[in-house]
Structure 1
Amino acid sequence: MAASPLMRGIHDLFARMEPPTGGRGDLDGNPGLPTAPTLRDAAVLVPLVDRVEGPTLLLTQRTAHLAAHAGQISFPGGGVEPHDIDPIATALRETEEEIGLPRSHVRILGRLDTYITRTGFRVVPVVAHVRPPFTLTPDPNEVDAIFEVPLTFILNPASRVRESREFMGAQRHFWAFPYGDRYIWGATAGMLVNLCDVLAGLNDAT
């Protein structure tokens, strides 16, 4: 299946981009937020699925018993292992392990800004074009559900909200994307805002 016009535009945009050098994280807007004393390197795949009706973002809901970010919505990914040659290798390996997406269906487009979480992860988001059809096999120990969100929903500024809640005696501010009965927030929402900022360049190119 040929890439949709929007996906072709995304390909062209990432092909022109310089490698990102910036950083984002949970501390943005929360300078006093307690954080982990050390950081572990990690990577996630930001999968743009090229559906006939338009590109979607593939997301997972983590199982409730996990030690970090239990029950939250996230991109497939995880910690860097010694045999991973780069963040792309980590993102592809973890995606295969978590949801069974064959890397033969994945074309890497580029990276977003590194994102540092309060829980001690230095995450590289790897953006990819995913070509259907494919069959997913989620790991029941890590993934409770897999779903897709239209990219146009994420790119609509009205879809994102800046919210806050009390955390350890102070107000923590964060981005969120409420989507039906799903609530995308925290690091994943922060990376989605980064993706929106990057894809705003599509308008500049037209």
Structure 2
Amino acid sequence: MVTAPKQIAQLRAALSQSGPGSSDFDLTPGVKPLAGRKLRPAGVLMPFIETPKGLDLVLTQRSSALKHHPGQIAFPGGKRDDADADIRATALREAYEEIGLHPNQVELLGQLPEHETVTGFTVTPVLGLIREEFTPTVDPGEVEEAFRVPFKHVSNLAKFSKQGRYWQGQMRWYDTVPLGPYYIWGATARMLRGLAERLEQ
């Protein structure tokens, strides 16, 4: 069995690698973002927690009442506020607001390259370890549920697949890494795939 300390070492090694970022447009080369559009910075937290069986990743299911991406699986996070010291502060603040994870409970490991979304954000994934017992307390206005996914699932490239659907009259392709009732797809799956690819190297 792969232990949590070994998986943490794998994460540190993955974060030490250089490489390009990613985009919602990567898998559909024929679809291009609008020229000159203004991108807004955002930060998300990939919060890992140790268990006797290895690391788990905490994810959220967004509220179905939200204007953007209702009901989708996501990392805790959001757009950067002017008061945030940096993008890591954004990710930590949003995780505290959405699932009650206090910044003092998190040991930051580093961050992955930015991911550009079709909705006009440049999202920076920030990786952290939850260093104590943690029970999520969700903000019902933003989050319907917080749940855990095993590290071994989201780090295994064999669990990922490419799927597509028509949107605004065009076929759009995206990554997925589903688990049970949770359909993890889109930007969340794309960022996780980027991490999984680094872990394979």
Q: State TM-score, norm by structure 2.
A: 0.91
Could you tell me how far apart the structure 2 residues matched to 1:167 and 1:39 are? Answer: 21
Evaluate the alpha carbon distance shift between residue 80 and residue 12 of structure 1 in structure 2; reply closer, same or farther with a 3 A threshold: closer
Deviation, structure 1 residue 13: 1.4
Q: Report if the CA contact (8 A) 2:157-2:193 is conserved.
A: no
- Give deviations 1:8-51, integer Å, cap 9, x for gaps: 41354157x15x56221101022343646321110000111111
1:78 aligns with 2:78: yes
Counterpart for residue 21 of structure 2: 23
Any gaps of 5 or more consecutive residues in structure 1?
202-206
Supply the distance in 1 between the matched residues of 2:101 and 2:146 (Cα, whole angstroms). 11
Give the secondary structure class of the aligned counterpart of 1:7.
helix
- Give the residue type in structure 1 aligned to 2:20: G
User: 2:46 touches 2:125 (CA, 8 Å); kept in 1?
Assistant: yes
Per-residue CA deviation, residues 102-137 of structure 1 (Å, 9 max, x unaligned), is 112211111112000001111000011112312321
- CA distance in structure 1 between the partners assigned to 2:80 and 2:190 by the alignment: 21
The runs of 5 or more residues in structure 2 that have no matched partner are none
How far apart in 2 are the matches of 1:135 and 1:154?
A: 21
- Residue correspondence of structure 1 range 169-180 to structure 2 within 5 A: 169-180=169-180
Query: Residue in 1 aligned with 2:102?
Result: 102
Closer, same or farther: CA 121–12 of 1 in aligned 2, 3 Å = closer
Partner in structure 2 of residue 43 of structure 1: 43
Residues 12 and 44 of structure 1: is their aligned pair in 2 closer, same or farther, counting only changes over 3 Å?
Answer: closer
Match of 1:128 in 2: 128
Counterparts of 1:8 and 1:125 in 2: how far apart (Å)?
16
Contact 1:56 1:148 (C-alpha < 8 Å) held by counterparts: yes
Matched, 1:166 2:163: no
Distance 1:108 1:14 in 2: 14
Aligned to 2:52: 52
Give, in whole Å, the separation in 1 of the partners of 2:179 and 2:132: 23
Deviation at 1:53, TM superposition (A): 1.3
Conserved 8 A contact 1:164-1:172? yes
In structure 1, give the amino acid aligned to 2:63: T
Measured against aligned partners, the alpha-carbon deviations of 1:56-91 in whole angstroms (never above 9, x if no partner) come to: 111000001111111100000001000111110000
d(CA) in 2 for partners of 1:142, 1:92: 16
Q: Percent identity?
A: 41
After superposition, the C-alpha distances for 1:126-167 in whole angstroms (9 at most, x for unaligned) are: 011112312321100000001000010112222111111111
With structure 1 as the length reference, what TM-score do the two structures score? 0.89
* Aligned length, in residue pairs: 197
Query: 1:4 Cα deviation (Å)?
Result: 2.9
Contact 2:105–2:132 (CA<8 Å) still a contact in 1? yes
* Partner secondary structure for residue 198 of structure 1: helix
SS of 2:187 mapped into structure 1? helix
Q: Would you say the 8 A contact 1:41–1:80 is kept in 2?
A: yes
